[in-house]
């Protein structure tokens, strides 16, 4: 049994690769390294450096493969507003290229890395799979279109698929793999503390217990195992739901993250405070009950453990 991981040199993808190997499943990686890092791919894993728009390279990577975990794409929601055509090309056109290659190779199983971005800023404080999608960026729209592509391709062929919608992925399951995104809270805090600077909280007047926004943080190692469970289920012929939320159901506030950072690092700091950013919701968390039922999903890390693993992996030089 061999699975292709697209985007397998990225922060999340590299953890998925390791989770598959730990479960005894062989893996092939395809990644153009636009945001991934070649050193994140473990030794001994076949690696094709290419963009999914390169159909010949995709077909090469799919040789002898039984299924695909599709994580590759342009993932910066804010930047996607300024670069909509790039976002759609990398997230939609490239997915069409992948699905065409899979159909040619008669590969029928696909786990798609979708996003909580499909919900936009939901009115429901606890999001379920029944919450109506309302994406508010080209990134979120492209992920929803990706789900539609799977639905329609499955109706036309024997494609078996599921999409995993997740929120804020944090931490590290391997000290050599870290989140390098310039837009995510954990790496921002790690970077500032490493430089001897003080992180900032945006918005302290939210209607939450401590006044800061509450979001759903899931550890990347737990997330990676959910992809393995989904792949195993599809491979066995089990029918899965078209989408699953991977969330804690509770959430963590920004101030709680700052407190965890202080405890874990031993750096005594008081975050500066600024006004809310436009459109920043006060509380958004996801109900993961369906994923627990079908995939054995659970968030197993405390907030301190999440930050501790992120800090351990963060490059200090």
Cβ neighbors of 242 (< 8 A, separation 6 or more) are 147, 150, 151, 161, 162, 163
Element of type H or E holding 140: helix 138-156
Spatial separation of the C-alpha atoms in residues 258 and 242, rounded to whole Å: 36
Q: Is 217 a catalytic residue?
A: no
Cβ neighbors of 223 (< 8 A, separation 6 or more) are 12, 15, 164, 166, 169, 246
Q: Which of 139, 166, 217, 244 is catalytic?
A: 139
Distances (CA, A) of 228 to 69, 114, 177, 220, 245: 9, 15, 19, 13, 15
3-class secondary structure, 185:
helix
Closest CA to 114 of 152, 165, 168: 165
Catalytic residues: 139
């Amino acid at each position: 049994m061999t699975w292709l991981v697209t985007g397998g040199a990225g922060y999340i993808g590299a953890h998925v690769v390791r989770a598959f190997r730990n479960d005894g499943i062989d893996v092939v990686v395809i990644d153009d390294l636009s945001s991934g890092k070649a050193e994140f791919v473990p030794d001994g894993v076949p690696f094709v450096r290419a963009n999914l728009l390169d159909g010949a390279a995709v077909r090469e990577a799919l040789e002898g493969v039984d299924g695909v975990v599709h994580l590759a794409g342009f993932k910066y929601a804010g930047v996607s507003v300024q670069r909509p055509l790039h976002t759609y090309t990398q997230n939609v056109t490239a997915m069409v290229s992948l699905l065409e290659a899979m159909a040619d190779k008669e590969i029928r199983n696909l786990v798609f890395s979708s996003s909580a971005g499909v919900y936009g800023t939901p009115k429901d404080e606890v999001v379920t799979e029944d919450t109506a999608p309302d994406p508010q960026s080209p990134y979120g729209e492209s992920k929803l279109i990706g789900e539609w592509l799977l639905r329609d391709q499955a109706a036309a062929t024997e494609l078996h698929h599921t999409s995993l919608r997740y929120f804020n992925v944090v931490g590290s399951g391997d000290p050599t793999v870290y989140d390098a995104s310039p837009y995510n809270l954990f790496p921002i805090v790690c970077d500032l503390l490493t430089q001897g600077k003080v992180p900032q909280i945006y918005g302290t007047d939210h209607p939450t217990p401590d006044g800061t926004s509450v979001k759903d943080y899931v550890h990347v190692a737990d997330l990676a195992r959910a992809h393995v469970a989904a792949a195993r289920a599809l491979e066995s012929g089990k029918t899965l739901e078209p989408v699953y939320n991977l969330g804690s159901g509770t959430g963590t506030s920004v101030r709680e993250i700052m407190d965890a950072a202080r405890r874990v690092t031993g750096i005594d700091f008081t975050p500066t405070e600024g006004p809310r950013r436009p459109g920043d919701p006060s509380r958004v968390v996801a109900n993961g009950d369906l994923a627990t039922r079908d995939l054995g999903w659970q968030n197993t890390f405390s907030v301190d453990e999440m930050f501790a693993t992120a800090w351990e992996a963060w490059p200090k030089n």
